[in-house]
Amino acid sequence: MKALILVGGYGTRLRPLTLSKPKPLVEFANKPMILHQIEALQAVGVNEVILAINYQPQVMQSFLEEFEMRQGIKITCSQETEPLGTAGPLALAKEKLIEESGEPFFVFNSDIICEYPLREMIEFHKAHGGEASILVTKVDEPSKYGVVVLDEETGKVKKFVEKPASFVGNKINAGIYLLNTSVLDRIQPRPMSIEREVFPSIAEDGRLYTMVLTGFWMDIGQPKDYLIGLRLYLDHLRRNSSSELAVGPNIIGNVLIDDSVKIGEGCMIGPDVAIGPGCVIESGVRLSLCTLMKGVRVKSSAHVSGSIIGWHSTIGQSAHVSSMAVLGEDVHVSDTMFLNGVVVLPHKEIASHFVKPEIIM
């Protein structure tokens, strides 16, 4: 069985982190984003993953070669010479996606983190006998999204309504699809939207079905949603009694700490924190709702909350970093500094207070 992941372009919403790495390789809960998806696909028998990519293919390829050898799964890149939207990449990769067995294939948007009910999705797809299956998720404010209007009994899609002014439903496209290879005949190798052009035509033919996701879901393509997604993911680990979560007198709530991390005395860590490999947390540090990427040092009595700290950065003694601050790679914050909601580009030294959100070039 095969799968295609829509990796896409520059990852501008997650800058400055994506100035150092392609977005799919940015760690989420101490693992590259794309690895969460590849492992879920491999668990249901997918043996080849195709990445539709138009940015930094060399960096992606070198990482994937290493993972391919370690995991025993074939990973290839399908490179766009121009952005092809969400459908065009499928046409470009058509020859790679078609199997002699005629099996359907998965399509993922690369920013999606969820419980990945892929085995159930395969059974659902077989049972309804249609041409395509979409995973949908319930949301509280459907007016912000494109809503999928469906038959609640069968899951058959009736229509799509973009940002409805009045209530028509509360289920939205969750960015995970299972498609028959016949869908490829509906797509041209040009910039094309699978949501606005391909799916409506399949729905008109009565051959498009939805499966409702019951667990958590988040598009983690921007910092605020990345941190919300982290909270949901760590809660999912807790509910499944995962041994990955840290325990101890200095741990509050759900916390993920790499085995190589060094932690000083008198720290309070959590809730909803991920600390990557090689990090050093000195004494008296307070961490909550944050991610520290590989090699970060947080000096004594510093406080980091609601923020993402990029690779090999340093937070100075008694410094405060909060309110959706995102520090790029190799950023060094001086002692006692106060950073509120700032976005700091890589390789900077910060020796001033920033009390209002701004971008530090």
- CB distance 323 to 357 below 8 Å: yes
Residues 56-95 have pLDDT tens digits of: 667 777 777 788 888 788 888 777 777 777 788 888 778 8
What's the CA gap between 303 and 301, in Å, rounded? Answer: 7
Mean pLDDT of the chain: 88
| Total residue count of the chain as it appears in this document | 361
DSSP secondary structure of 47-102: -EEEEEE-S-HHHHHHHHHHHHHHHT-EEEEEE-SS--BTTHHHHHTHHHH--TT-
Tokens standing for 174? 């969750």
pLDDT (0 to 100) of residue 156: 81
Q: Name which of 55-59, 120-124, 223-227 the model is least confident about.
A: 55-59
**164 burial type by CB count under 10 A (0-12 exposed, 13-18 middle, 19+ buried):** middle
More confident residue, 12 or 219: 219
**273 burial type by CB count under 10 A (0-12 exposed, 13-18 middle, 19+ buried):** buried
More confident residue, 317 or 157: 317
What's the CA gap between 201 and 206, in Å, rounded? Answer: 9
> Is residue 160's pLDDT more than 90?
no
Residues 338-347 have pLDDT tens digits of: 999 999 999 9
- Residue 260 — pLDDT band, cuts 50, 70, 90? very high
pLDDT (0 to 100) of residue 110: 84
Beta carbons within 8 Å of 227's beta carbon, 6+ residues apart: 272, 289, 290, 291, 306, 308, 324
Kindly state the helix (H) or strand (E) to which residue 175 belongs, with its residue range. strand 171-179
Tokens standing for 5? 């992941």
Residues 270-290 have pLDDT tens digits of: 999 999 999 999 999 999 999
CA distances from 275 to 3, 262, 271, 272, 323 (A): 30, 10, 12, 10, 18
